[in-house]
Structure 1
Amino acid sequence: MQQLTSKKALIIFTRNPELGKVKTRLAKTVGDESALKIYKFLLNHTVEITKKINVDKFVFYSETINQNDIWDTDIFKKKLQTGKDLGDRMNNAFLELFKIGYEKVIIIGSDMFDLDKKDLDSAFAALYTKQFVIGPATDGGYYLLGMNELNPAIFQDKNWGTSSVLGKTLENLKDEKYLLLEERNDVDYYEDIKNVEAFQQFLPSYLDKNFL
């Protein structure tokens, strides 16, 4: 039986950092090696902003659970994603933690540079007055989703990775009390990072600010 140290839990969905398998849309411009370096940089950022949050933290890996990596097992509990698509995997992760006994659960990805600890603290605080909290992404998806009880409809009948996801999710919640957080940009394409100083160190020399 999982030992709860809090009634709140944070789910972090992550891809195993393998060459050619992460940030594939970004890699079309910057190449696989730079895309992997950027992804690892984003993973480290996520560790930094989540490790001191006063909730139980779970890292759900996409392929295999890595025991000796940046996710310290004294801080992060490690699990494996299960399900046929992203919606199914998220639903199963929420279901597992609610069954354990958590009362407020939030999910994020592991590659949001525009996210910080304060945002996560605010999201958990919102769940004391709202049933759901959503962080909308500029591409029409969302970078954060939190809830006090599982609503499976949120994870069904969505074209994951498209601009329709947020709108259809809000349709599912039209009769619920929810809070929309500030819109943020995630990192999927070269245009998302080309003018951000923190990423310049990872970009190939043949790229410049006027590329594309």
Structure 2
Amino acid sequence: MRERGATLPEKCCAVAIMAKASVAGTVKTRLVPPLTPEEAAELNTCCLRDVAENIVDAAKQAPIQGFAAYSPLGSESFFDDVLPVGFKLLPPREPTIGRSLFHAARDLFAARYSSVCLVNADSPTLPTQFLVETVLRLREPGDRVVLGPAADGGYYLIGLKQFHRRLFEEIDWSTERVFRQTLARAGEIGVTVAPLPEWYDVDDEATLAVLAREIGPCRSRASPYLNGYRAPSTAAFLEKLATGNGGIERLFGRADPPAFPPPPPRED
């Protein structure tokens, strides 16, 4: 494992991407079609690169150690070629997202990191400041959970000061109920939730179109997501896709992307 320098775990936040190696036919399958399995795998790689580089940028403003909680077993060499120098790998993820989040959080706290942030690999344009704000909120006195709501009802990020098993129990994973149910679990155990602004995951045809309007060849000022991370690898992929056979039509599908409401104002 490549490491940049020795940072004491108790002095920084472990920020882990929930990552899956890019094997055609196993990643971003809801994007096939309009993408081919190979294109979907390439997009997955681009998203991973951008999310990791975003974490590196955030680490310039807050004490962060980057990780990838990865799968499948045996794909370590793939991540050696994708992740920046200094990132570490967690042991292979569990087969379900809920168990993966549970074990990643537990293992990172066991390694004595002062706080833990788990972020998805599907939001390549997530604003860097959201990551920085998460870490800073987790450094404030008192227990809390930082939660980033996704436009589809899930969450793109969860930040923890302590390991709370209950936050990962009785959740209908991969449904529009995840964020709401996680709020309810936090309420049950009396932990304050610090919400971040809404952002979106790129995991189907509609959200691919949203991404294309944000950073693709047909950028639109009408997009509610205009201040995100520049995501250079993903932007380059969209540019290449647009020049191919049926490119623009494949980016936007059969209709314009859904009109997501603007993200809510940030709270002080």
Q: TM-score, normalised by structure 1?
A: 0.89
After superposition, the C-alpha distances for 1:85-137 in whole angstroms (9 at most, x for unaligned) are 21112111111111111121100022212313221111111113451100000
Aligned-partner Cα distance in 2 for 1:141–1:170:
11
Whichever residue aligns with residue 8 of structure 2, its letter is L
Deviation at 1:43, TM superposition (A): 1.4
User: CA 1:36–1:78 in 2, change beyond 3 Å: closer, same or farther?
Assistant: same
User: Counterparts of 2:89 and 2:124 in 1: how far apart (Å)?
Assistant: 22
* CA deviation after TM superposition for structure 1 residue 28, in Å: 2.9
Are the equivalent residues in 1 in contact too, given 2:90–2:104 (CA < 8 A)?
no
CA RMSD of aligned residues (A): 2.1
Q: Secondary structure at the match of 1:145?
A: strand
Counterpart of 2:28 (choices 12, 23, 32) is 23
2:71 aligned with 1:62, yes or no?
yes
In the TM superposition, 1:112-131 aligns within 5 A as: 112-129=123-140, 131=144
Gap runs ≥5 in structure 1: none
Q: Is contact 1:63-1:80 (8 Å) kept? A: no
The alpha carbon displacement at 1:3 in A equals: 7.0
Which consecutive unaligned segments of at least 5 residues does structure 2 have?
1-5, 217-234, 256-268
Amino acid in structure 2 at the alignment position of 1:180: P
Q: What does residue 184 of structure 2 align with? A: 171
| Structure 2 SS opposite 1:58 | strand
CA distance in 1, matches of 2:92, 2:127: 24
Using the alignment, how far apart are the partners of 1:186 and 1:210 within structure 2? 17
Kindly indicate whether the alpha-carbon contact (under 8 Å) linking 1:8 and 1:56 is maintained by their aligned counterparts in 2. Answer: yes
Amino acid in the other structure paired with 1:141: G
Q: Which residue of 2 aligns with 1:79?
A: 90
Residue 185 (str. 1) matches residue 200 (str. 2): yes
Matched, 1:202 2:215: no
Alignment correspondent of 2:12:
7
2:167 is aligned with 1:154: yes
Corresponding residue pairs, total: 210
CA distance in 2 between counterparts of 1:40 and 1:126 reads 30
Letter in 1 for 2:81: D
Q: Distance in 2 between matches of 1:147 and 1:139?
A: 22
Letter in 1 for 2:76: N
Q: Counterparts of 2:204 and 2:94 in 1: how far apart (Å)?
A: 26
- Residues 11/122 of structure 1: CA separation in 2 closer, same or farther (3 Å cut): same
The one-letter code of the counterpart of 2:124 is F
Q: TM-score, normalised by structure 2?
A: 0.72
Q: CA deviation at 1:184?
A: 0.5
* Structure 1 SS opposite 2:136: helix
- 1:163 to 1:132, Cα distance in 2 relative to 1, 3 A: same
Cα distance, 1:84 vs structure 2: 4.8
